[in-house]
Structure 1
Amino acid sequence: MNRVVVGKTYRFTVITDYLLRIEEDDTGKFEDRPTQTVLNRDFDEPEVGVLRNSNGHEVEIDTKGFHLYYDGGNFSAESLYIDIKKAYSVYQNRWYFGEDNDDHQQNLLGTVRTLDHANGAIPLDKGIMSRDGYSYLDDSKSFIYQQESDSFKARDNLVTDGYLFCYGRNYQKTLTDFYQLTGPTPLLPRFALGNWWSRYYQYTQAGYQSLMRKFDKKKVPINVSVLDMDWHKVDIPQKFGSGWTGYSWNTELFPEHQKLLQWLHDDGKKVTVNVHPAAGIRAFEDVYPAVAKDLELNVEKNEPATFELDNKKFRQAYFNDVHHKLEDEGIDFWWLDWQQGLAKNAKKMDPLWLLNYYHFTDNDRRTNGNGLILSRYAGPGSHRYPLGFSGDSVISWKSLDFQPYFTATAANIGYTWWSHDIGGHMHGDFDGELATRWLQFGVFSPINRLHSSNNTFSGKEPWNYRSDFENTQEEFMRLRTKLVPYIDTANYKTHTEGIPLVKPLYYDYPEKAEAYAMKNEYFFGSEMLISPITSPHDDKTQMAYSKTWLPSGDWVDYFSHLRYRGDTVIKTYRDSNTIPVFVRLGSLIVTNPDYMNDLENLPTNIQVEVFAGRDGSYEMVEHLGDKIAKTLFTWNELEESLKWIVNDPDNIIPKYRQISLKTHHDNRRAVDKEFNNRLQRAYISFDLKQQLSDAFNDEKYKYASFMNLINTLENNDLRSSLSEVAYIRHSYNS
């Protein structure tokens, strides 16, 4: 097969017209088994031309995407170089072996292991997307997966094993083929897409139930209950070491824990608990006798079962004697809070990778395909074991401001399911505005997991804040669960098509400078454009804003239903009760109005929000396990009618489902009326009213002129009217 070119110490494998594997091994033994990162290298039939010993080159390989030149000898920048046919480099389109660490490449970056203790932006590792049009993924240090023993093995010797992506700026195709190379992202269970409640706090059984009852009474849905480390014994005899690792319920706090777990399940919630597994299984644990028997430990000397997940015998006891028994009591999946660093030497595998792999595959098997963990990122390929826990975030505006960019950019290495500590975990100040803005971002992020430390002032219960913040937070939490049908559709597209739920703008607009400049703006699913507000309000307008680029076309504010003309950059000012979310004219958003119901079951009622103005269509995808149902909705603007076609081969949709329509039209007239009402309420003098009216009607009107009017109002001691005027100014502007 001419797509594989082999020499004594080298091998080139053309995987697609735009994807090349490059190997060098002095022993001449090349690796065909899967690695921890790469699973599949044979999925296309590229058109390949090969020349040997021609024009002074030992090998030339030519495809639609690249032309390789190899002059013999050890790989180096002098002996191996490749011309990229879809390159965008300023000076040249040639990649030289070893140049992937050069600073001149315009790599769009990927993600990192954790945001622990980060207060704002931190450097990110490289991804596979580059504005240059090409990038290199080094797989040389990946461990080899041994299927027969379900284990990982270090490579026998130092090799070169890497993949050159040459897709130009077709970022989505790059990601799609990356997933085919490394394996797809699993389909997440629906319950994970709702609201999570988490706090590092010594809850009692009664106190936790009381908290959940209060959420229920307020009709604020909590779909996943997270118990941090105090669920287990922490105060242990000193001879056993630290209390961070534990698997025995703290009966002082949870005297009847199985009843609590059953109560939470009956209340429509899934349960996960935090574990720090580094200390292994010690003699004080309830399960120690079973573990000691299986591992033949010296019980008289309290010999511990040392944490060795690469040891098959330990692994069997770890799961069968410890985790499975706790799962049988009602724990649905595990929060793996590994903080003990990397492997001690190159022959030992990263413990975090082993934890993620074995825990996810075990949970997936026991839940019939609904596998889930919560853990840190362990490198390329980690997307196969969702979800990602981004670590203990600092409570600050800087932290919030970094998270939208961080979340979207992670798609560049295929890691699309990040879960952040929404609201922040530690340090910082009590700030209702920050908590509200963070939650608003959380609702439009992959996983909305509210979290905090045990500090008295850091609890994220909405009622901890003043009434306007409380009401807004509760409404946004309801909105999150209402949007689960929409989010689950994106979940399916991530799994089957490799399209991220949270996607950078440049995936759709690779040639637009604004798509790269607006780092915090992103697409959320196929219909929504999000521009989260990540800074506090200003003193003049009493509102906060984000800088938003609207691509060409007609856009509608999801909340106010105001229409905006695209191909523009604007400052989108908003009160604390809303954020800039836009949909295109003609968009359909499917929601679940019965948001308090159990997310394990498909909703009986579906509401379709139509942003009228032109024809539109949307295919909703629903799933229970691996059973899929699809409903295609179409909106006819002329007839003002909604129709749908259902494809449900496994009969998973409720038999008596009701579908309702909610139509949103351009709200210009309502704004005109509201503008006049606000002017009247503001008690502005006649002259200032006239100036404001003229300003709003002047197409050449500039923001600076508006600020002059604001200053005039200030000088006339009319500061109370400023927020009214500013609100209508920025709402009215399209």
Structure 2
Amino acid sequence: MNTRILKIIYIIFSVIFSSASFAQAVQPNIVYSDNNVRFTVITDGAIRMEYQPSGNFVDNPSFLASERKYPAVKYKLKKGNWIEIETSKMKLKYKKNSGEFTAKNIQITDVKGTKPFQWVPGTKQQHNLGGTLRTLDEMDGDTQRGSVAEAKSGEKRKLEDGLLSKDGWSFIDDSNNFLFDDSNWAWVTQRKNKEGQDWYFMAYGEDYKTALKDFTIFAGKMPLPPRYAFGNWWSRYWSYSDGEFRSLIDNFHKYGIPLDVLVVDMDWHYTDEGRGGWTGWTWNKNLFPDPPKFLEYLHENNLKVTLNLHPADGVSSYEEGFSGMRKDLELNPSTTKNIPWIGSDKKFMTAFFENILRPMEKQGVDFWWLDWQQHPFDKNVDKLSNTWWINYLFFSDKERNSTARPMLYHRWGGLGNHRYQIGFSGDTHMTWKSLDYQPFFNSQASNVLYGYWSHDIGGHTGGHFETEMYLRWLQFGALSPIMRTHTGKSADKNKEPWVFNQEVFTIIKNTIKQRYEMAPYIYTMARNAYDKGISLCYPLYYDYPQSKEAYDFKNEYMFGKDILVAPVTKQSENGFAEIDVWLPEGDWYDWHTGTLLKGGKVIKRNFALDEFGMYVKAGAILPLYSDTVMNLNGNNEDYIVTVFPGREGSSSIYEDNGNDKSYEKDFAVTELKSLRKGNELQISIDARKGKYQDMPDSRGYSIKLMSSVMPESVTLNGKSLSFKYLEDEFAVLAQLGKLSCNEAKNIVVTYPAGAADLTNGIAGKSRRIAKAIEQLKYKDPGIVLIDELGKMGSINEAILYYPKNVNELVNEFNKNYNELPEILKKQKLDSEKVQWFLKVIGYEKY
């Protein structure tokens, strides 16, 4: 081998092994280790720093850091008197052999091109963006009205710190956290070396989304809930009987209202002295004579069921499972003493699940509502949070012993609890203040990856029931992670949809049905939360970190990547609720009125009772269902690929089995794209990629074009398609038919030249005017409408009969709308009626 080749080989090896070169870490990414110090690069923006005077480093997962193996990361390592580790986002320096970490021997700074910072131990964040709270029990907005473990009545509650800060970095001290042992069912264990340091540092600047993804690398992902969890949940604190529940479900069917989950509150078990109480484990046979048959009935109706649990009082001798518990715990066969709840006792918990819960799960209970409220800490393990620990126990038991996808419904226990969805926020007060607080509370929880809060829609306690407040709460609930109505045990707080008048009933039904139409989009975004750590509801500053308004407009949030929500959380005046909405740069489509709005500013919007603030990115293409879907258990529903006005958009459809545990690898994705070029709109539905169990080979597909005039033609893969006009939505629907999911579909829509603009809110305007004219007839039964006003009131019907004339009809409507005050005077309405008419359609505010 000649000298030249030897030199080349030497240079290559020098580069690979040089302490100053970029290197690929070998799992688990330990960059530097000596007798007392260990540094592990998790990602280019996250690093673990350990100091152990004994030299016994911790490899077991902790309650926070459940993952110990990480993808390879590029870094630079330089050894000398100072250990230097540099990634693309930060540079760490530690003085070698200088002992425990202090402000004198370790620091982390930014690298060129990232947001400047300098951190040493003891540095305090100045601008933490907040996280969440264990519970909203007895809260009225952000004010505590009844005492809980963390606060006294009258206190203003402040959110716990979250993982993100405007400082651009975050520090997490995991030194005193509990660990999991190596047993088959990983159990709590305490650290042996209490004097050690186990720290995590994250550098991210304004890239909040990447910070959350980095956190999942060492703290675990947000599990994907079953698909049914995103449907409608019926819940009420009420001592329903078997027969009353059957009547309730019959009414859901009768009135065509979708339903997926039935929540049975604590009266499923005996609550009277000597047979039960707040804690109970035995079915109340007076209300449920045959529980297995009741559960069978629910499943026959495609419903999932959860039961409310308050475990704190343990297991009493009168419970059906007591004898089995006594035997498994090897207690005296004659004892009738209560078996206390000790969550840290593995033998107790094993016996509890086997004798108390497993029999009911076999009967058909799908998941548990863990309504834990009592003593904060475990009786045997000091400082072990009962909330955190039993959330893990219930979720992991389901994970280990069920073929179904695990799900739990409970309170927040602290960092790491994002691995055990879904949250129950507790008994909030029935007030506008509570409603106004919850959108902010929802989105902020994404800062600790707790992305699935479920609130008592309509409020639970305190205050008084108001129909308008309930409707606004329901509308917000439909655009929340979980849609669950609930209320306290009070006869005057019944929220069954059919007890309201026709107008309110219709709004309730339509709100729930729109939730179901959006299910494919919602489920796709939930998968995104699993993959990337970005919750379904997240703050605007994730996408617009440099905009002050993204932080100031706290109630606004993104609902997935394409929809901005500005919920109505205040009472209306004169039939409309007016709110200020900040829309980021770009164009946004107001879904409920059909108005395309320019962003980059704050605008005033007003909402009738059946409208709420949903703003879709211009050009977005969203996967939706039709309004015929009543339940999310099925997996072969038709897709309506819906295109919103704008130049271009892209999205995807995520599919899986819906309720299996193998969704990490067993799933399929279909990419969607749209592009407008002049008078031509091109839409592509790519061939589906991936597979999962029981995957349908074909589906029905349709294309829906929002705020669209009648096209000249629509083609699918070059062949002509028929299409129809949806006059109420001013939209076009083209049914593609039942097609193979594994083949690409290319749709071309050709529009006539000079088409009318339908993005000025005509859908909302025409709806309001038709309603006002109907009301006007009651004020003046003998009124004969002049042509201009009459045509405005019947434009939807005119389009129904003459869809090809939509251009002409819309242009005439727009002209008359601009002249409406004069037209009303021409109608010979007096000034009072003119002002009334303009007010009820929100004319001066539109």
Q: What TM-score, normalized by structure 1, do the two folds share?
A: 0.88
Letter of the structure 2 residue corresponding to residue 28 of structure 1? G
Higher-Rg structure is 2
Matched, 1:31 2:58: yes
Letter of the structure 2 residue corresponding to residue 471 of structure 1? T
| Contact 1:437-1:534 at 8 Å conserved across structures | yes
Matched, 1:632 2:658: no
Deviations 1:351-384 (A, max 9, x none): 2222211211222344425110101111111111
Matched, 1:67 2:95: no
Matched, 1:558 2:591: yes
Letter of the structure 2 residue corresponding to residue 196 of structure 1? W
Which residue in 2 is equivalent to 1:513? 548
Matched, 1:647 2:689: yes
Deviations 1:52-97 (A, max 9, x none): 32xxxx54443332233445354333443322348998xx722231
Matched, 1:587 2:608: no
Residue 198 of structure 1 and its aligned partner are, at CA, apart by 0.7
Matched, 1:728 2:728: no
Letter of the structure 2 residue corresponding to residue 117 of structure 1? E
Letter of the structure 2 residue corresponding to residue 94 of structure 1? Q
Q: 1:172 to 1:631 in 2, by over 3 A?
A: same
Distance 2:53 2:447 in 1: 32
Which residue in 1 is equivalent to 2:188? 152
Q: 1:12 to 1:466 in 2, by over 3 A?
A: same
Output aligned runs, 1:405-444, within 5 Å. 405-444=440-479
Q: 1:284 to 1:653 in 2, by over 3 A?
A: same
Q: RMSD in angstroms over aligned alpha carbons?
A: 2.9
Output aligned runs, 1:692-731, within 5 Å. 720-721=836-837, 723-724=839-840, 727-731=842-846
Letter of the structure 2 residue corresponding to residue 566 of structure 1? G
| Contact 1:84-1:95 at 8 Å conserved across structures | no
| Contact 1:87-1:134 at 8 Å conserved across structures | no
Which residue in 2 is equivalent to 1:81? 107
- Secondary structure of the 1:48 match is strand
Which residue in 2 is equivalent to 1:202? 239
Letter of the structure 2 residue corresponding to residue 184 of structure 1? K
Residue 7 of structure 1 and its aligned partner are, at CA, apart by 5.1
Distance 2:446 2:765 in 1: 43
Deviations 1:618-638 (A, max 9, x none): 210111122312222333434
- Higher alpha-carbon deviation: 18-27 or 279-288: 18-27
Distance 1:107 1:637 in 2: 42
Distance 1:389 1:653 in 2: 32
Residue 305 of structure 1 and its aligned partner are, at CA, apart by 2.4
Output aligned runs, 1:142-541, within 5 Å. 142-149=177-184, 150-156=186-192, 157-237=194-274, 243-343=277-377, 347=382, 349-538=384-573, 541=574
Deviations 1:618-667 (A, max 9, x none): 21011112231222233343444544222353474434521112211233
Q: Choose the corresponding residue for 1:94, options 118, 133, 146.
A: 118
| Contact 2:594-2:761 at 8 Å conserved across structures | no
| Contact 2:235-2:486 at 8 Å conserved across structures | yes
| Contact 1:542-1:722 at 8 Å conserved across structures | no
Q: 1:668 to 1:64 in 2, by over 3 A?
A: closer
| Contact 1:532-1:546 at 8 Å conserved across structures | no
Deviations 1:577-627 (A, max 9, x none): 110101122212222226444422213322122113423332101111223
Distance 1:109 1:116 in 2: 19
Q: Percent identity?
A: 36
| Contact 2:593-2:763 at 8 Å conserved across structures | no
- Secondary structure of the 1:181 match is helix
Q: Choose the corresponding residue for 1:115, options 112, 119, 136.
A: 136
Which residue in 2 is equivalent to 1:686? none
| Contact 2:653-2:671 at 8 Å conserved across structures | yes
Matched, 1:616 2:640: no
Q: 1:719 to 1:380 in 2, by over 3 A?
A: same
- Secondary structure of the 1:286 match is coil
Matched, 1:542 2:568: no
Letter of the structure 1 residue corresponding to residue 471 of structure 2? T
- Secondary structure of the 2:427 match is coil
- Secondary structure of the 1:668 match is coil
| Contact 1:393-1:424 at 8 Å conserved across structures | yes
Distance 1:184 1:19 in 2: 16
Distance 2:353 2:768 in 1: 67
Deviations 1:103-146 (A, max 9, x none): xx111111121111111122111111111101112212221111
Q: Choose the corresponding residue for 1:662, options 679, 685, 704.
A: 704
Q: 1:728 to 1:159 in 2, by over 3 A?
A: farther
Q: Which runs of 5+ in 1 are unaligned?
A: 684-688, 699-712
Letter of the structure 2 residue corresponding to residue 502 of structure 1? C
Q: 1:17 to 1:145 in 2, by over 3 A?
A: same
- Higher alpha-carbon deviation: 502-511 or 307-316: 307-316
Residue 328 of structure 1 and its aligned partner are, at CA, apart by 0.8
- Higher alpha-carbon deviation: 493-502 or 402-411: 493-502
Matched, 1:20 2:43: no
| Contact 1:86-1:166 at 8 Å conserved across structures | no
| Contact 2:129-2:161 at 8 Å conserved across structures | yes
Q: Which has the higher contact order (CA 8 A, sep 6+)?
A: 1
Q: What TM-score, normalized by structure 2, do the two folds share?
A: 0.77
Q: 1:494 to 1:672 in 2, by over 3 A?
A: closer
Letter of the structure 2 residue corresponding to residue 50 of structure 1? K
| Contact 2:623-2:652 at 8 Å conserved across structures | no
Q: 1:577 to 1:354 in 2, by over 3 A?
A: same
Distance 1:13 1:643 in 2: 44
Q: 1:25 to 1:464 in 2, by over 3 A?
A: farther
| Contact 2:536-2:560 at 8 Å conserved across structures | yes
Q: 1:324 to 1:680 in 2, by over 3 A?
A: closer
Q: Which runs of 5+ in 2 are unaligned?
A: 1-24, 143-156, 708-757, 780-788, 790-813, 820-828
| Contact 2:593-2:761 at 8 Å conserved across structures | no
- Higher alpha-carbon deviation: 124-133 or 643-652: 643-652
Letter of the structure 2 residue corresponding to residue 631 of structure 1? T
Deviations 1:671-705 (A, max 9, x none): 7984996899689xxxxx9xxx99x989xxxxxxx
- Higher alpha-carbon deviation: 556-565 or 163-172: 556-565
Deviations 1:137-168 (A, max 9, x none): 22122211112252110112243222111111
| Contact 1:518-1:547 at 8 Å conserved across structures | no
Distance 2:398 2:283 in 1: 21
- Secondary structure of the 1:353 match is helix
Letter of the structure 1 residue corresponding to residue 207 of structure 2? N
Deviations 1:547-593 (A, max 9, x none): 22111112111122211111111122101111010112221222222
Q: 1:564 to 1:281 in 2, by over 3 A?
A: same
- Secondary structure of the 2:654 match is strand
Distance 1:87 1:133 in 2: 13
Residue 349 of structure 1 and its aligned partner are, at CA, apart by 2.3
Letter of the structure 2 residue corresponding to residue 724 of structure 1? V
Q: 1:65 to 1:465 in 2, by over 3 A?
A: same
Which residue in 1 is equivalent to 2:19? none
Residue 290 of structure 1 and its aligned partner are, at CA, apart by 1.5
Which residue in 1 is equivalent to 2:714? none
